[in-house]
Structure 1
């Protein structure tokens, strides 16, 4: 009898030990996490998806000379500001989230975001467009995106890349809808009302997503540092940040140039707008599959190969493209690959820096891409040769080289992570 009790006690002790051994901050890999995926996907749809449709506005601005006091580089800067300002405020947004909570930060952002579109509809001078469609929208995206970007890794571990792929596919869905919808609205109700309608739709959708979002900070207890200097002393962190910096030059140049490139090969305005929609179709369909591949084959390795593959696609398909069909093919294929940074930076940050350091690591990543986000399309338009038979040749080479060079940094990171004990 004594022996039985001893065994029962030992079994109970073992079970108790098993429960204690599981850290409370271990991601549940499901549960409410699936709702979080839906909420973040919706946010991506109505922030980055809408921002991705700026190429449609850009082609209209360039073709119609909407603002007589503006130069082509002005429009490039405005599109760059949407991304650049969103990344620039990362430290402030991270600290604001830590001090006042994510909901306050995100609601402030969605008001600025919608207000920027509505204010842009009343703009009559180019400096007014800088403040509204550039600065306000960029601030709004940043205040919504920065707090939400660190939440998903808290809910998933084994399926982390899949979860990130599904949520980031939302930007592709938004890009399809707004690339086609924006062009149709401009043609039927005019540019001012297209901006107002977009702003109101985004206000309602982003508010719903914000209210559904829930973090696990009470368990994970992330430090949420605005600028984590201690991480910059690590070689693997520097490699990841270097990849982010270089790859975004290629991403921005490709994303914003594709629609106007269509006009340069004698496509109609609607066909040029459709190219951006096809690119986003590739994003929406491809990213979940990229997530599955990342979880199965390794996140760093897959990100490295995808970055390299996008560079090859630019040289193999985009540069030789001279007709609508080939350009559509490139748009769909590259759509699944060009945003490798956005779909992998969260899981890669957790892989390199650890779960608790994800908000701090992401803050560094966002800061590292401010310059390329702001100036990549400016450089692309500067390299464009108007009047030439191939005006976008140099921007295309610029984008392709950015992806190829960026893949080298991830290849180096992949190598050192294969060596046990290497930091």
Structure 2
């Protein structure tokens, strides 16, 4: 098995996977089509960004709705965190099925069906705010499955439109999601105060249908390119570098949603509810900067793997060193900026890393398998933190949050160390751009 070169990012002549001789894909994905690197590609990026603006905006606003439901319906924080985690887990757990569905019906129909189900789930949830099983089914399952159908096309199609600036394109797509989270977290707080949780769910459903279905019509691959949708590449589990990336990224995603779920609650310990929502919005703005900035670094400065290591380092160190001692808004703001940039960068760097290591045309065949390892982190990551908080003494102030903060930081650092191993296996030199 031939080893890839480490002087990445890849160029046009290198944009193939040297280990893919067992794959049915034997041709380069690029031809002389003028569609590549054109405005048409950026139109697809814009459509994907709009979809994630609403979808991830709702995902990251769950902490606001969660707080409202805990306060008004007497649901436990851990239980409500599981509802949000279930919806989030479908983002990755059904990825391999979504890949099969895309091969059968195409990117566009898959994205539109996902948008339809997301809106339906939120509408149904609006009549189930007093029912815990109803919230699990409507928001957790129906909305979650819709998100799973949508996220994979939006994550992989932009990679196929560009020879250059793939990292930037992916960063813009996911940056739209974190920007949506920043805006919608504030909007959700206002909506909950004005119209209540039920009507907030209904408005979410309308937004999903009004924005995501039309945007889904633009999710397509280049027409004139020699591109086929790859099958799931299960043979990757025989490759050490894929296995280590699978484990490292799976552990690294355990803490990624913890800050967004905990910030609305934690910030109230040092400030008011209104300030807490503003703090959450700033975390999402920092996440936007991290996603777009990471794309630039991956393309032209550090390379995807080095940028991925840096993102986990920022997320981990900020949770270990700053968050446990954030007894004032000033200190908490420092944590918000550093952690938001680190967590945000992680999401946008994974597709770019896969494209760099295995070839962009193989991304749809590899990402769903990689995401299988993320299910446990997405589903159990935040509830574990909530459970640690539940066991702490609530009268101890910010000290009650320290076990969750230390858990969050430790998981990020462990994931980072394993990604460093991938980096070493991939090139053998820690300072080379990869």
Matches of 1:77 and 1:369, distance apart in 2? 15
The one of 40, 47, 67 aligned to 2:48: 40
Q: 1:173 aligns with which of 173, 179, 203?
A: 179
User: 1:25 and 1:368 mapped to 2: Cα distance?
Assistant: 37
Q: Provide the rounded CA distance (Å) in 2 between the counterparts of 1:288 and 1:381.
A: 30
Task: Give the alignment's TM-score, normalised by structure 1.
Answer: 0.89
Farther off after superposition, 278-287 or 209-218: 209-218
Helix, strand or coil for the counterpart of 2:110?
helix
Structure 2, unaligned stretches of length 5 or more?
Answer: 1-26, 430-434
- Within 5 A, what are the aligned runs for 1:11-410? 23-24=30-31, 28-62=36-70, 64-66=71-73, 68=74, 70-123=75-128, 124-216=130-222, 219-225=226-232, 228-263=233-268, 265-296=269-300, 297-384=302-389, 385-389=392-396, 390-410=399-419
- Relative distance call for 1:309 and 1:104 in structure 2 (3 A) is same
Unaligned stretches of 5+ residues in structure 1? 1-19
4+ residue segments displaced more than 3 Å? 20-23
CA distance in 2, matches of 1:157, 1:334: 31
Distance of 1:21 and 1:367 partners within structure 2: 27
- Aligned mates of 2:28, 2:316 — CA distance in 1: 45
- Asked whether the 8 Å contact 1:169–1:288 carries over to 2, the reply is yes
Secondary structure of residue in 1 paired with 2:38? coil
**Residue 355 of structure 1: CA displacement?**
2.3
For residue 309 of structure 1, report the CA deviation from its aligned partner.
Answer: 2.1
Q: In the TM superposition, what whole-angstrom CA distance separates every residue of 1:99-139 from its partner, at most 9, and x where no partner exists?
A: 12222222221111011111111112111111112111111
**TM-score relative to the length of structure 2:** 0.86
Distance 2:227 2:419 in 1: 28
How many residues of Structure 1 are paired with residues of Structure 2 in the alignment?
395
Q: Is the 8 A contact 2:176 2:288 kept in 1?
A: yes
Q: Compute the RMSD of aligned alpha carbons.
A: 2.0
Cα shift at 1:315: 2.0
Q: Counterpart of 1:32 in 2: which secondary structure?
A: helix
The structure with more radius of gyration: 1
Q: Deviations over 1:275-309 (max 9, x none)?
A: 22111111223322221111122111111122112
Q: Do the aligned partners of 1:236 and 1:352 also contact (CA within 8 Å) in 2?
A: no
Distance 2:351 2:38 in 1: 17
